[in-house]
Amino acid sequence: MVRDAMQDCFSASTNSFWAATGGMDQKLIIWDLQHSMPRSTCEHEDGVTCLTWLGASNYLATGCVDGKVRLWDGRSGDCIKTFGGHDAAIQSLSVCANRNFIVSVSIDETARVFEIAEFL
């Protein structure tokens, strides 16, 4: 089963004192590292399998068991965009070197490219 194969995930922001964690509990938690406490808890429809900050911005992306990639505003904790296209869980996310695109890879054996330039 997909849920058993996935691990919790972690990523630290490069431009602030924030970090993010996600897992099969269907939550993305954005942490304030200066105060050692959650800044926002963001609910997902399914488990979070991977996450990454979008360069040095205040935005981050999550990949989920439901096959969707979601973009989040780290300041407010709001989901600002959802990308679909996969039929199974997202395995990995990567921001392109020019930071205009994010690439997702799924266990459905496909990769998708989504434009994110407007969020950086």
Q: Where are the domains of the chain?
A: 2-119
Report the alpha-carbon angle 44-63-1, nearest 5.
85
pLDDT beyond 60 at 1 = no
Distance, CA of 26 to CA of 48 (rounded, Å): 6
Looking at per-residue pLDDT, the higher value among 78 and 16 belongs to: 78
Position 120 scores a pLDDT of 72
The CATH homologous superfamily of the domain defined by 2-119: YVTN repeat-like/Quinoprotein amine dehydrogenase (2.130.10.10)
Residues with Cβ within 8 Å of 64's Cβ and at least 6 positions away in sequence, in order, are 44, 45, 46, 47, 48, 49, 70, 89, 90
CB-facing half-sphere around the CA of 104: CA atoms within 13 A: 32
- The reported pLDDT for the residue numbered 7 is 52
Mean pLDDT of all residues in 10-28: 84
